[in-house]
Amino acid sequence: MASYISNTKEQQKAMLSEMGNDSIQELFADIPEAVRLSRDLELPPALSELELTTALRKLSQKNKNLDDTSCFLGAGAYDHFIPSAVGNLISRQEFYTAYTPYQPEISQGTLQAIFEFQSMICELTGMDIANASMYDGATALAEAVAMAASQTGRNEMLIANTVHPESREVLKTYAHYKGIAVKEIGYHNGSIDLDALAAACSDQTAAVIVQSPNFFGIIEDLGQAAELAHQHKALLIASVDPISLAILKSPGELGADIVVGDGQCLGNPISFGGPGLGFMATSKALMRKLPGRVVGQTTDVEGKRAFVLTLQTREQHIRRDKATSNICSNQALNALAATIYMTVLGKEGLKEVATLCLNKAHYLYDQLIKSGKFAPVFSAPFFKEFTVTSAGDTDVLNDALLADHIIGGYALDKSYPELKNGWLLAVTEKRTRPEMDSLVEKAVNHCD
């Protein structure tokens, strides 16, 4: 058994006697007899640190991990390269064992790093302001919808069904309890059906929600969606892949009012889907509707530049039930990882990651189509993920590939029944040409 208690029994006795108590039990006298637990909790036997490492190593080895496989699975969680500096720096205890920076004089490290994070997110998204991060991309989207409802005084949302299925599910949950109506807009050639959007958009619409690149990997026409939304004084909420923004036009330039996304891809391990981070950026006009922590620049009493949590009258600890959101924590350490990632890769490096993803994804797409065993599904431009149709069942195909230590694509018919045998493949900068050639060879053999 491990214990992290410092005081010896003798010290505890000394403390009790100084307090005028005979036993620790006396301190629990306020707990009514009827609800006291009179037995030990039924938990597995305690383990020493030595035993724990063995037990957990063994448990972890029941999982097939991405280091031992070639991963072509994306669909919202991506196997991007993480520079060594990221893990090393976020492991500094001053970062990971600190609390929310309530005392700015001894939290300038966290505060300045968040300010830099907000600045980088603004640069990529082309927006004025950003918050300190959200739980993930899906909850950031749901919070953006609440913002749009509050800003416009309307409660009808139009969301492309090319937005990640789980983001739509999370939105559905949040919206249901807030009394917000959500209508889905179908797709045409893998992109939001702009005619259907134009027909659905009205003066009741609070926001149009589009993801780009969308769940199929396709780059959406955010500019057109923004125009349609703005014609009805509705907002455009864009959910984006931050890495793609190194080469793609920023949603801010294209007219988005609120930009959200998932930042796991920025230097955070995939970790079975969490913890990662969500981000949110918007225009100055919506500043006071922003949920979550925000860091601002100010000066100290001596005029020195300093950073502090600000605009707190939006938040739950001040406004209680009138707050813009109930969110309290952010994903600070994950946002720090993202900040370090964007710093180490830098202006050119992030473009390089994006370009490598794009080139490799297009190479794999071409090879699969050339093989004759896989057919194109859409003809719209894509970034690092694409859709093909396989000749046979995709689950069976993925099972076969697993035997060769390849994690295949996402079986699209799970979320889009009309795309039978649709296979969504993601290619990050980590995948090599031999890995891709091997995938094609194995997949083609299987289909023969």
Site for other proteins in 341-360 (CB under 8 A): 342-353, 355-356, 358-360
Among positive and negative, which fits the CA dihedral 23, 26, 27, 28? Answer: positive
Q: Compute CA distances 39 → 24, 36, 43, 122, whole Å.
A: 17, 9, 12, 55
- Is 20 among the residues that bind other proteins (CB under 8 A)? yes
- The span of 152-160, 196-204, 232-240, 315-323 binding other proteins (CB under 8 A) equals 315-323
Q: Considering beta carbons, is residue 160 or 246 the nearer one to other proteins?
A: 246
DSSP state of 304: -
Q: Does 205 bind other proteins (CB under 8 A)?
A: no
Any contact of residue 179 with other proteins (CB under 8 A)? Answer: yes
In the complex, the smallest distance separating the C-beta of residue 307 from other proteins, rounded to whole angstroms, is 8
Residue from 158, 245, 256, 259 touching other proteins (CB under 8 A): that is: 245
Residues 76/164, Cβ–Cβ less than 8 Å: yes
C-beta closer to other proteins: residue 348 or 448: 348
CB atoms within 10 A of CB 181: 13
- Of 1-9, 184-192, 231-239, 386-394: span binding other proteins (CB under 8 A): 1-9
**Rounded Cα–Cα distance for residues 125 and 130 (Å):** 9
x/- map, 267-296, other proteins, by CB under 8 A: --xxxxxxx-x---------x-----xxxx
* Size of residue set near other proteins by CB under 8 A: 204
Of the residues 16, 196, 444, 447, which one makes contact with other proteins according to CB under 8 A: 16
The CA distances from residue 346 to 123, 170, 278, 284, 337, in Å, are 12, 33, 20, 26, 14
440 is written with which tokens? 């094609």
Q: Hey, how many other C-beta atoms are within 10 angstroms of the C-beta on 154?
A: 21
Q: Does 243 bind other proteins (CB under 8 A)?
A: no
Could you say which of 49, 153, 417, 448 contacts other proteins (CB under 8 A)? 49
Nearer to other proteins, 87 or 233 (CB): 87
Task: Please list every residue from 60 through 99 that binds other proteins, using CB under 8 A.
Answer: 60-67, 71, 73, 75-77, 79, 81, 83, 85, 87-89, 91-99
- Using CB under 8 A, which of 247, 391, 444, 447 touches other proteins? 247
Q: Nearer Cβ to other proteins, position 113 or 158?
A: 113
Told to check if 107 binds other proteins by CB under 8 A, we report yes
Which residue in 153, 304, 417, 418 binds other proteins (CB under 8 A)?
Answer: 304
Q: Per CB under 8 A, which region of 155-163, 196-204, 248-256, 369-377 contacts other proteins?
A: 248-256
Whether omega before 165 lies within 30 degrees of 0, making that bond cis, reads no
Nearest to 212 by CA among 168, 184, 250, 175: 250
Q: Is 370 in the site for other proteins (CB under 8 A)?
A: no
- For the segment 380-399, give every residue that binds other proteins (CB under 8 A): 381, 383, 398-399
CB-count exposure of residue 204 (10 Å: 0-12, 13-18, 19+): middle
Q: What value, to the nearest 5°, has the Cα angle with vertex 412 and ends 408 and 415?
A: 135
Among 156, 241, 257, 262, binds other proteins (CB under 8 A): 262
**Phi/psi of residue 427, each to 5°?**
-125, 110
- Which of 386, 403, 395 is CA-nearest to residue 439? 403
Q: Binding other proteins by CB under 8 A: which of 241, 257, 385, 429?
A: 429
Task: Read off the tokens for 439.
Answer: 């995938």
The least CB distance from residue 382 to other proteins, in Å, is 8
Q: Which of 150, 204, 283, 316 binds other proteins (CB under 8 A)?
A: 316
Our finding on whether 249 is near other proteins (CB under 8 A) is yes
Q: Cα separation of 419 and 376, whole Å?
A: 12
Q: Which of 79, 162, 39, 90 is nearest to 337 (CA)?
A: 90
Report the candidate in 280, 282, 284 with the shortest Cα–Cα distance to residue 292: 280
